[in-house]
Chains A and B, each alone.
Chain A
Amino acid sequence: MHQVETQITRAAVIWQLLACVLVVLPHLEWLPFWVPLLLLLTLGARLMIHQGRWSFPSRLIKLALVVASSLGLILSFGHQSGPETMVALLIVGMALKLVEIYRRRDALVVIYVAFFVLGTTFLFSSSAWIALYAAAVLTVVISALLAIHQRKGVSVKQTLKRSLWLLGPAVPLMVLLFLIFPRLEPLWSVTLDSPQATTGLSDNLSPGDVSNLARSDELAFRVTFDGEVPAPRQRYWRALVMDRFDGRQWYRSQETGALRSEKLEQTGDTTGYEVVLEATRRPWLVALDQPLSAPTGMQMRPARTLELKQDLNQRYSYQLSAALTYVLQPMLTQAEQQHYVQLPDSGNPEARALAQRWFDEAQGNQQAFIQRMMQHYNQSFVYTLSPGRLLGDSIDRFLFDTQRGYCEHYAAATSFMLRSVGIPARIVTGYQGGEWNPYQGYLQVRQYDAHAWVEVWQEGQGWVRLDPTAAVAPERIESSAESFLRRSSDSLAASLVFRSDWMRSLQLRYDAFNFVWQRWVLNYDREQENLLADWLGGLDYWRLALFLMLPGSAIFAFLAWSQLRRRTPRISDPVDAALFKLQARAGARFNAREPQQSLAHWLETLAGDWPEQEGRLLRLAELDNRRRYAGSHSDREAQAIIKLAGELMSQLPNRTQR
């Protein structure tokens, strides 16, 4: 026993240091280099102090440290106001505080900041791995908090065990709260820069400038369908429409004044689906051809592509419905016709000449013209991701020299030739296909599924999709980019998707897990209402309260019970157990047994207070005496004691009668 001390134990100091390091680790990738250095410095200093080699720093040194790190913060973050600045400030503060943890108060400051820094980790990453890591770190931080409140000399293992014993029952409670707690609208607007660089669609297309198409297997989006899943060749996900060509690149025209919103006549069933789009840092969204309408918060451009009003910096999910068969804009105005046949005055003369020759041969029949073009591709063209650069008139070079290219080359050449003979045409970019994940029943679309195709306008039919890539490499459209690339002899393409079957299945499972994680954890707010309504049969307050209270109190009851069990001595001998129970019960009603009283003596006194049972009590006292002192251990007597004790307990009056 000792006087109260607020100085913390040496073991506790080590716990604090460990907690600090672990909470800062996930932030290392974006922190300016000097912050981890500062942390290392203060950590080292504290360890030296811990070992008694250094003494605590003087006030002057501390002041110098504070000034230097404030300057550092201003230099590194002076112009920013995002969460990075806040987190960096917290980490620097924590690092500085480390040097002087000595008393319980200092340690508490460090631990509370550590809790907060741990929370901010999720602003930068929200993968299941980070969550798992955070759970492990939380155990360490809790251990650090525990270490400053528990006695000296508790082993590391024991401390961790205690922390887990604390956290264990808290987990189901957390799940309950997580399910129930209403998700509120942000209190004020915050900006969050997603630190990831994006790969994805761009809003211009100049296939001649790219010699090797770098495609990644990064996830673009995932889709769940309400009903039937469209066939692979129907899975055209439109994102952008390029309607201007400047001789080198296709792009989106800014002046859309002449264009009306296009009219969609649905001729078949509606397909409902939900897209979870990864952050793109661009405003545009993907939609299955053709989206029926734009949900609130989005706008639809004239060529039926969907857009947000601001860039998409976080994963975003939305629900849409699509018409797979349709007639789009059966009539074009003069101005619109003009718009969609625009070409530069000169350039690519050979392509123009070829198109004119074919058009003349088809005698102005658009269908025949298109047929001719597709045949041409099918005869001698090669689909490849490394077509090489095209100098000068890129479309001429592609059509007459190299004849090698990927979807963009075909789309660009096709719409060029269509336009050159006066047929309205445009390029649509987006994604095509996707891989079906059987484990969770959704379609995963990756960046290598990006695609470009053509829409051509025909009298009476409106805008019709025309995919020249299908003429060159039909299996690319019929199956998926993934399997197509796998079978391709193109080494670059093959390397992208090279995986054995078991790896493939593992990858699918992993992605399915991530999908579940995203859907049920990261985007739980979208599911909350439906899920709770499903489970509880309604969203009344009383149902929610019951849902929270019933399991919640069960958890508390379990915890209390297990604690009570631990602190009640367990008696293995049934005779002792029966007598102990009798003592506890009868002692509570009448007089408790005094420490110096023998059991028999207590029973005799009890007989005075409880005359109705005097006979039994005295008999029990006699039996007990005999058992203890006469060394008789017959089973019959033991049974008699247990029976008597049981009878006495059942006869106990309900209320205290003193």
Chain B
Amino acid sequence: MSLAHDSDSRVQSRIRRWSLSRQPRQTSVRLTRKSVYILPTRTGVVFLLLLALLLVMGINYENNLIYALTFLLGSLFLVTILHTYNNLAGIELSAVRGSDCHAGEQAHFQLRLSQTGERDRIQMQLPEGTVHEVDLTESAQVVDLSCPARSRGYLKPEWVRLETVYPLGLFRAWTWCRLELTALVFPAPLESPLPEHMEATVSGSLVKARQGGTDDYIGLERFRPGMSPRQIDWKSLARGHGLQAKQFADLRSPELWLDLDAMGAENLERRLSRLTAWVLRLSQADLSYGLKLGQYTLAPASGEQQRQQALKALALYGLEPLRQEGAHASG
């Protein structure tokens, strides 16, 4: 038996389009009679052939017990329709969240399945995604589905397919749900060397930039006149070490600007990919950087939030209007 259902077959995709056109995008869906489809599987058809053979045997040998067996299996075949349908119907499916990823990776979505009653195994799939088997044992469980993220931007899978062949594999019940699923797909990072002035900053001149800051305590030095009395380390004076001044440094690096327009005439997507790789690299080095994408400007900063904003801007540039984050941003 093949679980690889041909969701690509023309009939299937036509039914799918029709089915999806009847449902709005929702955050939560309850599977009902109206949306669940059911057809015999290939093994179901083979089972019918087996029944035909048994029937011929019953007829030819005029054997009523073989007739009875054939009819029992035939009835079982029919009854299975209800059982298979029952394994899907009544499930409530809601979107929990989608995880961000880079184009070319798998985007992961978390869905919550709640149900009552006795159920067993179902399969779930997102468009082009791999089929996941889910054993419905709890009344509520969270399922992680994935599908390939082909390009940057918001990825909103058109449908979630649920199917089941439980209990005997003779019938397949399936449905497509339109769920409000969203994942943000960043451009695929394209590794390339940083522009020269940045490279120097990143590797060499870090230390110079540090002195005279106010943020981080880096050590003590001899108090010289002209220093702020606030810097005096009273504790060491008390211990009899003389006047010592606490020294602070700013870890803020010089301002690095990543500018889309300053990257030559390369294809936009490639430029965005390079910028993405740089953003990742600079955040890893915990440096402060700003981002300019045409009209959009992201003020220099460092940290996780900056990285997120930069990546989001890169993901959505040219696809969705970019919102300027923070009041201090300027053009």
Contact surface of A with B, Cβ cutoff 8 Å:
1-6, 83, 104-105, 108, 112, 115-116, 118-120, 122-123, 126, 130-131, 134, 138, 142, 145-146, 148-152, 154, 162, 166-167, 169-171, 173-174, 177-178, 181, 183-188, 190, 192, 314, 521-525, 556, 559-560, 563-564, 566-569, 595
Is A119's CB under 8 angstroms from B57's CB?
Answer: yes
Q: How far is the CB of B135 from chain A (nearest CB, A)?
A: 4
Q: Which residues of B contact A126 (CB under 8 A)?
A: 63, 65
Is B71's CB under 8 angstroms from A178's CB?
Answer: yes
Question: In the bound complex, what is the Cα–Cα distance between A268 and B119 (angstroms)?
Answer: 72
Is A567's CB under 8 angstroms from B50's CB?
Answer: no
Is A167's CB under 8 angstroms from B76's CB?
Answer: yes
Per-residue interface assignment for chain B, residues 56 to 75, with 1 indicating a CB less than 8 Å from any chain A CB and 0 otherwise:
11111111111111111111
Q: Is B329 part of the binding interface, using a Cβ–Cβ cutoff of 8 Å? A: no
Q: Which residues of B contact A145 (CB under 8 A)?
A: 168-169
Q: How far is the CB of B38 from chain A (nearest CB, A)?
A: 13
Q: How far is the CB of A229 from chain B (nearest CB, A)?
A: 28
Is A569's CB under 8 angstroms from B168's CB?
Answer: no
Question: In the bound complex, what is the Cα–Cα distance between A87 and B82 (angstroms)?
Answer: 34
If A151-B121, A151-B135 touch, whether A524 touches B64 (CB-CB below 8 Å) is: yes
Contact surface of B with A, Cβ cutoff 8 Å:
1, 3, 28, 43, 46-47, 50, 53-54, 56-76, 78-80, 82-83, 86, 89-90, 94, 115-121, 123, 130-135, 137, 143-144, 165-169
- 8 A-B residue contacts at CB 8 Å? A4-B133, A108-B43, A123-B66, A151-B137, A170-B72, A177-B74, A186-B62, A567-B89
Is A119's CB under 8 angstroms from B54's CB?
Answer: yes
Q: How far is the CB of A627 from chain B (nearest CB, A)?
A: 24
Question: In the bound complex, what is the Cα–Cα distance between A166 and B54 (angstroms)?
Answer: 20
Known: A112-B46, A149-B168. 10 other contacts (CB 8 A): A6-B1, A119-B58, A122-B69, A138-B69, A142-B168, A146-B167, A173-B71, A183-B59, A186-B60, A559-B79
Is A3's CB under 8 angstroms from B133's CB?
Answer: yes
Question: In the bound complex, what is the Cα–Cα distance between A120 and B58 (angstroms)?
Answer: 9
Question: In the bound complex, what is the Cα–Cα distance between A146 and B80 (angstroms)?
Answer: 11
Question: In the bound complex, what is the Cα–Cα distance between A357 and B176 (angstroms)?
Answer: 105
Interface of A is mostly: helix
Is B1's CB under 8 angstroms from A105's CB?
Answer: yes
Question: In the bound complex, what is the Cα–Cα distance between A590 and B116 (angstroms)?
Answer: 24
| Residue picked from A148, A173, A568, most chain B C-beta under 10 Å | A173
Is A122's CB under 8 angstroms from B66's CB?
Answer: yes
If A119-B69, A186-B62, A521-B68 touch, whether A150 touches B79 (CB-CB below 8 Å) is: no
Is B1's CB under 8 angstroms from A116's CB?
Answer: no
Q: Which residues of B contact A6 (CB under 8 A)?
A: 1, 3
Q: Which residues of A contact B50 (CB under 8 A)?
A: 112, 115-116
Q: Which 10 A-B pairs have the closest CB atoms?
A: A567-B117, A173-B75, A170-B75, A151-B135, A177-B71, A122-B65, A174-B72, A567-B90, A174-B71, A563-B86
Question: In the bound complex, what is the Cα–Cα distance between A6 and B43 (angstroms)?
Answer: 14
Is B72's CB under 8 angstroms from A171's CB?
Answer: yes
Is A525's CB under 8 angstroms from B62's CB?
Answer: yes
Name A567's contact: one of B86, B165, B167 (CB within 8 Å).
Answer: B86
Is A563's CB under 8 angstroms from B72's CB?
Answer: no
Question: In the bound complex, what is the Cα–Cα distance between A4 and B123 (angstroms)?
Answer: 8
Name B143's contact: one of A1, A174, A187, A522 (CB within 8 Å).
Answer: A1
Name A188's contact: one of B60, B75, B115 (CB within 8 Å).
Answer: B60
Question: In the bound complex, what is the Cα–Cα distance between A187 and B117 (angstroms)?
Answer: 47
Q: Which residues of A contact B67 (CB under 8 A)?
A: 178, 181, 183
If A104-B1, A521-B65, A522-B64 touch, whether A120 touches B169 (CB-CB below 8 Å) is: no
Is A569's CB under 8 angstroms from B169's CB?
Answer: no
Q: Which residues of B contact A122 (CB under 8 A)?
A: 63, 65-66, 69
Name B3's contact: one of A4, A115, A188 (CB within 8 Å).
Answer: A4
Q: How far is the CB of A187 from chain B (nearest CB, A)?
A: 6
Q: Which residues of B contact A186 (CB under 8 A)?
A: 59-62
Residue of A nearest to B30 (CB): A592
Question: In the bound complex, what is the Cα–Cα distance between A162 and B87 (angstroms)?
Answer: 13
Q: Which residues of B contact A162 (CB under 8 A)?
A: 167
Name A150's contact: one of B64, B94, B121 (CB within 8 Å).
Answer: B121
Question: In the bound complex, what is the Cα–Cα distance between A188 and B62 (angstroms)?
Answer: 11
Residue of A nearest to B115 (CB): A567
Name B64's contact: one of A115, A146, A521, A569 (CB within 8 Å).
Answer: A521
Name B60's contact: one of A4, A190, A314 (CB within 8 Å).
Answer: A190
| Residue picked from B80, B123, B168, most chain A C-beta under 10 Å | B168
Name B62's contact: one of A120, A183, A564, A595 (CB within 8 Å).
Answer: A183
Q: Which residues of B contact A171 (CB under 8 A)?
A: 72, 75
Question: In the bound complex, what is the Cα–Cα distance between A567 and B135 (angstroms)?
Answer: 16
Question: In the bound complex, what is the Cα–Cα distance between A400 and B110 (angstroms)?
Answer: 105
Q: Which residues of A contact B61 (CB under 8 A)?
A: 83, 123, 186, 190, 192
Name A149's contact: one of B58, B71, B132, B165 (CB within 8 Å).
Answer: B165
Name A556's contact: one of B69, B70, B82 (CB within 8 Å).
Answer: B82
If A3-B132, A170-B72, A567-B117 touch, whether A131 touches B3 (CB-CB below 8 Å) is: no
Question: In the bound complex, what is the Cα–Cα distance between A556 and B77 (angstroms)?
Answer: 12
Q: Which residues of A contact B116 (CB under 8 A)?
A: 566-569
Q: Which residues of B contact A108 (CB under 8 A)?
A: 1, 43, 46, 169
Question: In the bound complex, what is the Cα–Cα distance between A586 and B73 (angstroms)?
Answer: 43
Question: In the bound complex, what is the Cα–Cα distance between A171 and B79 (angstroms)?
Answer: 10
| Residue picked from A1, A119, A171, A559, most chain B C-beta under 10 Å | A119
Is A187's CB under 8 angstroms from B60's CB?
Answer: yes
Is B133's CB under 8 angstroms from A5's CB?
Answer: yes
Is A166's CB under 8 angstroms from B115's CB?
Answer: no
If A146-B168, A148-B169 touch, whether A131 touches B75 (CB-CB below 8 Å) is: no
| Residue picked from A105, A112, A167, A174, most chain B C-beta under 10 Å | A174
Is A112's CB under 8 angstroms from B59's CB?
Answer: no
Question: In the bound complex, what is the Cα–Cα distance between A636 and B17 (angstroms)?
Answer: 52
Q: Which residues of A contact B143 (CB under 8 A)?
A: 1
Question: In the bound complex, what is the Cα–Cα distance between A361 and B23 (angstroms)?
Answer: 112
Question: In the bound complex, what is the Cα–Cα distance between A187 and B135 (angstroms)?
Answer: 47
Question: In the bound complex, what is the Cα–Cα distance between A176 and B249 (angstroms)?
Answer: 91
Is B54's CB under 8 angstroms from A116's CB?
Answer: yes
Residue of B nearest to A135 (CB): B72
Q: How far is the CB of B47 from chain A (nearest CB, A)?
A: 7
Residue of A nearest to B117 (CB): A567
Q: How far is the CB of B296 from chain A (nearest CB, A)?
A: 33
Q: Which residues of A contact B43 (CB under 8 A)?
A: 108
Question: In the bound complex, what is the Cα–Cα distance between A108 and B3 (angstroms)?
Answer: 14
Is A187's CB under 8 angstroms from B72's CB?
Answer: no
Residue of A nearest to B89 (CB): A567
Is B118's CB under 8 angstroms from A149's CB?
Answer: no
Is A166's CB under 8 angstroms from B79's CB?
Answer: yes
Question: In the bound complex, what is the Cα–Cα distance between A169 and B65 (angstroms)?
Answer: 19
Q: Which residues of A contact B90 (CB under 8 A)?
A: 564, 567-568
Q: How far is the CB of A188 from chain B (nearest CB, A)?
A: 7
Is B68's CB under 8 angstroms from A178's CB?
Answer: yes
If A151-B120, A568-B116, A569-B116 touch, whether A595 touches B132 (CB-CB below 8 Å) is: no
